[in-house]
Amino acid sequence: MAGSLKNTQKVRVLFVCLGNICRSPTAHGVFEAMVEKNGLSDRIEVDSAGTSGWHIGARSDPRSSEAAGRRGYDMSHIRARQVDSEDFSTFDYILAMDDQNLADLQALKPDDFNGCLDLFLSFSSDYAGQAVPDPYYGGEQGFEHVLDMVEDGSRGLLFRIQCQLESGQ
């Protein structure tokens, strides 16, 4: 984020995958819950989107929302949308689930974007730098693994943003 962060300013985070019905809405729901639990809902805004437009307007895949629900996360308010170049004017962190999502976002990125565009798990300690694997064509275990990765990445991301908010940078 460029310049210093005023205490009225929000940090805006966008999670991106292919369909916006499995991985990125899981990150959206989990990170939003952590933000709320830490009393930071007025300082951090969370959203998610897909690089494809295949599922625009759809609820999250029930396999994702049910797995998240078993861990206490609510994804019922999330509807799929497609990422667009305007998102680079809105969001400070645009975080891709895998390398293909990241490459697609890099192709869309305007030259003047000065936020953070990276793999989401660059903020993870247990899965640092890995991709979140697409669970769509697999079994239930894949959705649990996504949640394990997303929870760890979210803790790291929240720590990073808390430091940013405290330092005003």
CA 142, 37, 159, 79 dihedral sign is: positive
Q: What share of the chain is helix, strand, coil (3-state, %, to 5)?
A: 40, 15, 45
Q: How many residues bind ligand 4NP (CB under 6 A)?
A: 10
Which residue stretch of 16-24, 33-41, 110-118, 119-127 sits at the interface with ligand 4NP (rule: CB under 6 A)? 16-24
Segment holding 130, helix H or strand E:
none
Q: Is 71 a catalytic residue?
A: no
The only residue of 19, 142, 153, 156 in contact with ligand 4NP, by rule CB under 6 A? 19
The one catalytic residue among 99, 111, 134, 152 = 134
The only residue of 36, 38, 41, 54 in contact with ligand 4NP, by rule CB under 6 A? 54
Q: Is 163 a catalytic residue?
A: no
For position 22 contacting ligand 4NP by CB under 6 A, the verdict is: yes
Considering the complex, state which of residue 11 and residue 64 has its C-beta at the smaller distance from ligand 4NP: 64
Cα-Cα-Cα-Cα torsion 109, 119, 159, 156, nearest 10 degrees, comes to 170
The one catalytic residue among 22, 23, 87, 98 = 23
Helices assigned H by DSSP within the chain: 23-37, 62-70, 87-90, 99-108, 140-167
Q: How many CB atoms lie within 10 A of CB 31?
A: 26
* Separation between Cα atoms, residue 65 and residue 84, nearest integer Å: 25
For position 20 contacting ligand 4NP by CB under 6 A, the verdict is: yes
For position 47 contacting ligand 4NP by CB under 6 A, the verdict is: no
Considering the complex, state which of residue 22 and residue 149 has its C-beta at the smaller distance from ligand 4NP: 22
For position 153 contacting ligand 4NP by CB under 6 A, the verdict is: no
Q: Is 63 a catalytic residue?
A: no
Catalytic positions are: 17, 23, 134
